[in-house]
Structure formats: structure tokens, C-alpha cells
Amino acid sequence: MTIVVFLGSLLGLMALGMPIAFALILSGVALMIHLDFFDAQLVAQNLLNGADNFPLMAVPFFLLAGELMNAGGMSRRIVDLSMTFFGHIRGGLGYVAIGAGLLLASLSGSAIADTAAVAALMIPMMRKYGYNLDRSSGLIASAGVIAPIFPPSMSFIIYGVATNVSITRLFMAGIAPALMMAATLFLTWSWVARNEKMPVEPRASWRECFAAIGNAFWALLMPVIIIGGLRGGVFTPTETAVVAAVYALFIGFFVYGGLRLSDLPVVFVSAAKTTAVVMFLVASAMFTSYMLTLANLPGQVIALLAPVLDHPRLLMAAILILLTLVGTAMDLTPTILILGPVLSPLAVKAGIDPIYFGVMFVMVGAVGLLTPPVGTVLNVVCGVAGVSMEGVIRGVWPYVLAYTALMTLFVVFPELITVPARWLH
């Protein structure tokens, strides 16, 4: 009955068009009433405690770092570097978009920010050279969802806080699957673009290649600092976010010169608005998570799935199907905050590595950003590219299928994630 009360109230309120954060709070209140007690002070206290969490301080700083990188010219130099190396290949702008998406993923950790940056820079070029905009927009959206998997990932930070799993270990475990996602896109784009008649740029000379690397050197140094600092234990994930923001500010002002003092108010306000939305959502979900624990919902879910607990791969497949369905109707962050604390204990009970499970959980949720009707990343591409949602959906499906095949491979062979994670940890 607890599950019915929670899901009924949450889905009913969402169906009425209520913002997810308020729907989460009211579904938690519904659980309170179901358990025959209501305490407004307890609601307020848990909302405050939900946002008062040290690792969550990384969120505003990573968002600020992403805004500073876009405004300061770091993102544009990453795209220029990719263009220098891949522009001479047939369909080269597609490979440029994938390479830029991967490199930007190592800088900001936000699918929306990366997708917006790559789309703003690449779509005009693709339109100029006669690329099919539906397929190109779908590719850029698919490259954007690598960001939640590659460190520094804000999704991993939120998942780690919600499930009490090591954020640093999640970061290290995300490197190999993120690279495999990029490789999957390379192969899929080569198949999609095989019959396209696309103009190519002249092959860049060695001098131009070295010049492009030199031009993007300070941008490329940022992921080295972030991953190296985490791997070496120099700073925590929260401190990493501060380092990223300060580094992006310094490079934008004093090296690339793309930032001016007059730009800072716009950058800070934009980052603050996004932070407010994310943090209120986190606080709401933490209150709901507290009520779910009080109502023993995780225990009830474990009891329901007890027959498959002895078959970890079968359980993993069932959970991924559930998350895929949820991902069509819910954004990544609320999915993590609502289902993470419920499903993570179930995975541990079944003997599934919690780090592997966390990577897979976030990866399925990230791919859900590409599926309608919500499809947050698709909406970003539509807005930037000026193409219809129907066109982007037609263009994105080959990449969604390719990602699905990759995730199936990860279910059958978990070692593809766990073994590299042990090497890097």
C-alpha cells in the first residue's frame, strides 16, 4: 500500500503539471498522512538538511565553471581543435562534434551545458556544408549525454550523496564507459553518414595541428588537473569544483581574454539560477527519501524482487528496463534522487558492485535525456538548432539504439566497467 500511495500521489501531481520538486514534497506529506502522523517542523527540517550537505557544494561551482568556460572561449577552442584533426574526413564535422562533446564532458560535467555549447558552435557549420540537420542534431545530443558519465560529473555527485557511495570512485569508474560511449558514436556516425555526400575540409598541416593543440592547451590541461588531482588524492570532488571554477575564471580573463568584468554578472546569475533549481530539487527529494526510508519502501521493493536476487544479471536487466521507462518521463536528477536510494540497497543485497551499479544507473538515466516526451537534451538542441522535435527524434534513434546495445554489453560483461575502475582507483 505504501508504494501505491507514493507513486499515486507523485505521478498524479506530475500529471496535473506540478513542478517535480513540489510534487516530491507533497508525495512525502502523503506518506506522512498514510503513516498516521504529520509534522510540519519535520518537513522543514528535512528540506534544510537535504541541501545542507558538504559534497553538494560542488554543484554550484561546477555549474559556474561551465558558464565561465563557455563565456571565456575554452569551449570554442576545444571545437577548433577537434575540427583541425577530423575536418578532412568525410562526415568530419560529425566526428568533430563527438570529439568536442567528449572533451567538454571532461570540463563541465553537465549534459545540458555541453550540448548547448557544441550545438551553438557546430550547427551553423553543419548547415553551411549541407549536413542533414536532423541527423546532425541527434548526434550532437547523443554526444552531450557523455557528460554525466565522464568526470567531473554532477550526476555522480548527486548519486553519491543520495546513496552514500564514494563520489571519487564513481568518477574513476566513469572514465572507461564514457570513452566507450564516444567510440560507439564514432562507429554509429560512420554507418549513418556512409552514403552522405558531404564536403570535406583540406587536411590540416602538422604546423596547423600543433598550433591548434597550443591554442587549446590551457583548456586541455583542465581535465588533467581534475582527474590527476582526484586520482592523487590532492583534493576532494568538492574542492575539484572550486579548482575548476577558479581555473576557468583565470584562463578566461588572463590567457584567452574572452572574459570581461562586464560579463561576470550574467555568468554568475545564470549559474545561480540553475543552482537554485537543482538544490531545491535535491532538498525536496531528500525529504521524500527520508519518508520512504521511514515507510520501509526499500524493504518492500526488495521483498517484491526477492525471486531474482540470486540472479544479479537478470535483476540488473530488469532494473535497466524500469529506469529506461522512467527516463522517458522524468529528468536525470529526480530519477537519481527518487530511485537511487530505493534501488541501490537492492543491488547491494543481490551482490552487485555498488560502483558498477551507480555508473549503470546514471548511464541509463543519461540516455533517457534523449527519449521523448521529456528529452531535456533534445529540447536544448531544438532550441539552439532551430529544428523541430520530430526531426531531432528521427535523427537521434540510431544513437539511442547503439547506446542500448552498449548498455546490454555492460550488463552481460560487468568487467568492462569494474576492471578499469580498479585500475584507475
Domain ranges of the chain: 1-38, 55-424
pLDDT of 75 above 80: no
**Range in 13-22, 84-93, 96-105, 295-304 with the lowest mean pLDDT:** 295-304
Mean pLDDT on 389-410: 90
Q: Are the beta carbons of 302 and 310 closer than 8 angstroms? A: no
410 closest CA partner among 188, 176, 189, 191: 176
The residue count for the chain? 425
Q: Check: CB of residue 139 under 8 Å from CB of residue 94.
A: yes
d(C-alpha 22, C-alpha 182), whole Å: 36
The answer to whether residue 3 scores a pLDDT higher than 80 is no
- The grid coordinates of residue 418 equal 569494474
**Looking at residue 299, what is its pLDDT?**
67
Q: What average pLDDT does this structure show over 307-327?
A: 82
DSSP secondary-structure letter at 387?
-
Whole-number pLDDT of residue 178 = 94
- Confidence band of 14 (pLDDT split at 50, 70, 90): confident
Q: pTM here?
A: 0.80
CA 291 to chain centre: 27
Cell of 161: 550523496
Average the pLDDT over 247-253 and give the result.
88
Residue 197 confidence (pLDDT): 67
Instruction: Find the distance separating the first CA and the last CA of the chain, reported in whole Å.
Output: 42
Question: Cell numbers at residue 39, please?
Answer: 509534522
Q: What mean pLDDT is predicted for residues 254-279?
A: 84
Asked if 192 and 319 count as a contact pair (C-beta separation under 8 A), the reply is no
Specify the pLDDT at position 399. Answer: 94
Question: Cell triple for residue 124?
Answer: 551553423
- Angle CA 8–22–342, to nearest 5: 55
CB atoms inside a 10 Å sphere around CB 368: 25
Assign 198 a pLDDT band (cuts: 50, 70, 90): low
Q: How far is CA 14 from CA 7, 30, 48, 186, 263, in A?
A: 10, 14, 23, 37, 37
pLDDT higher at 141 or 108: 141
Instruction: Report pLDDT for 328.
Output: 75
DSSP-derived secondary structure for 398-418: HHHHHHHHHHHHHHH-THHHH
Q: How many CB atoms lie within 10 A of CB 418?
A: 16
| pLDDT tens figures, 332-379 | 888 888 888 888 888 888 888 999 999 999 999 899 888 876 677 887
Average pLDDT of the residues of the chain: 82
Mean pLDDT for 70-76 is 79
Share of the chain above pLDDT 90, in %: 14
Q: Is 194 exposed, middle or buried (0-12, 13-18, 19+ CB in 10 A)?
A: exposed
